Structure 1
Amino acid sequence: MELFELILVLATVVGVTDGNTILVKDNAGQTITIRLACINAPKATVQPYGLTATQKLKQLLPPQTPVVIRNTEQLKSSRTVGEVFVDNRSVNLLLVESGNAVVDRETLQNCYESRTQFLIAEANAKNKRLGLWQQTKVKFNSHAK
């Protein structure tokens, strides 16, 4: 059995930067940039459906929303990568389910307890042609770390 350290951060949403990134304020009052783990969403400024993905994230996480973040990685750029939960639901997974994001297979191992759910959600969204799956070919650049 694999042992791991579970790092949970309680925070409040300050704002949404794009379909992959949010700003939160932790209990100590620090503002933290959070990159959503295990998913990729189109960039709002250059890719089709990017604005839609950002709007969906803003709908799911309006300012002042209390969230729990399961920290998966700390990037050199001082950004935190994590899975964001509201009312025990993964916002990352909700974006994939609605077709507003795809699974990032390179980092999926960071979402170990829900990786199967991510893959099933993506397959369902693709089958139903939801969100960005309405396009004949889904292609966009992943977020740079």
Structure 2
Amino acid sequence: MTGGRHFVDPPPWKSRQRDFICPALVPGFLFLQRSSVTVRKALHILVLALFATMSVPAACWAQNIAGKVVGVADGDTITVLDSDRVQHKIRLAGIDAPEKKQPFGQRSKQFLSDLVFGKLVEVEAEKRDRYRREIGKVYVDGRDANLVMVAAGLAWHYKEYASEQSASDRLLYASAEDDARQMRRGLWGEANATPPWDWRASRRAN
């Protein structure tokens, strides 16, 4: 096993939901533990807490997924099959790869496929997007695949969502992009590489 990360029990194909309590629910749970309350009061507390969670859905949803990569849609989207034969569409967090019809779009997809396809991966998923994809960091052979894509010059650091990254990841991804640009790796070999978010916007405008 390479790298600092490795799979432990349950088996590496096993999808694991974190033991996770939404912060907004904590006061209600503590109150129930420490006080003798009626069922009506208990239900009232929990209903109020559940309403509070509606304003912070991303913060209250987190999942670890382990499984085999069975599909690569493009340079930032893969499909992972877990041990229960459930497929998870994963959008790599913190990066944005060229669209397939953009220059380097196919090359980006092929690079990611070479990196992860058919391999066991672990995904730290933190939220879902509007397409119901799980957004997260993908680890393969102990490496951060998201960061590898940026360092190879085949994806941008998605700065619009950098605030959702840890401080260390923001620094790592930004530095990897700067280095790839200076070394003219991948798409940075083009004089005027168009970020995919600008490309998508222009397509919508037309």
Please indicate, yes or no, whether the TM-score normalized by the shorter chain is above 0.5.
Answer: yes
Q: For 1:72-91, what aligned pairs fall within 5 Å after superposition?
A: 72-91=126-145
- Superposition deviation, residue 29 in structure 1: 1.5
More contact order relative to length (CA 8 Å, sep ≥ 6): 1
Q: Distance in 2 between matches of 1:58 and 1:85?
A: 14
Contact 1:37 1:110 in 2 (8 A): no
**Post-superposition shift, 1:21?**
0.5
Q: After TM superposition, give the deviation of residue 106 of structure 1 in Å.
A: 1.1
* Higher strand proportion: 1
Partner of 1:94: 148
Report the Cα offset of residue 77 of structure 1. Answer: 2.1
Aligned residue in 1 for 2:98 = 42
User: Would you say 1:134 and 2:189 are equivalent positions?
Assistant: yes
Structure 1 CA distance, aligned partners of 2:113 and 2:169? 23
- Once the 2 structures are TM-superposed, how far is the Cα of residue 24 of structure 1 from its aligned partner? 0.7
CA positional deviation for 1:75:
1.8
Unaligned runs of 5+ in 1: none
Which structure's residues are more often helix, by fraction? 2
CA contact (8 A) 1:19 1:50 kept: yes
Segments of 4+ in structure 1 off by > 2 A? 3-7, 140-144
Identical aligned pairs, as a percentage? 32
Aligned length: 140
Please name the residue that 1:33 is paired with. Answer: 89
Structure 2 unaligned blocks of 5 or more? 1-22, 24-58, 202-206
TM-score, length basis structure 2: 0.63
TM-score by length of 1: 0.88
Q: Distance in 1 between matches of 2:155 and 2:109?
A: 10
RMSD: 1.9
Are the aligned partners of 2:156 and 2:195 in contact in 1 as well (CA < 8 Å)? no
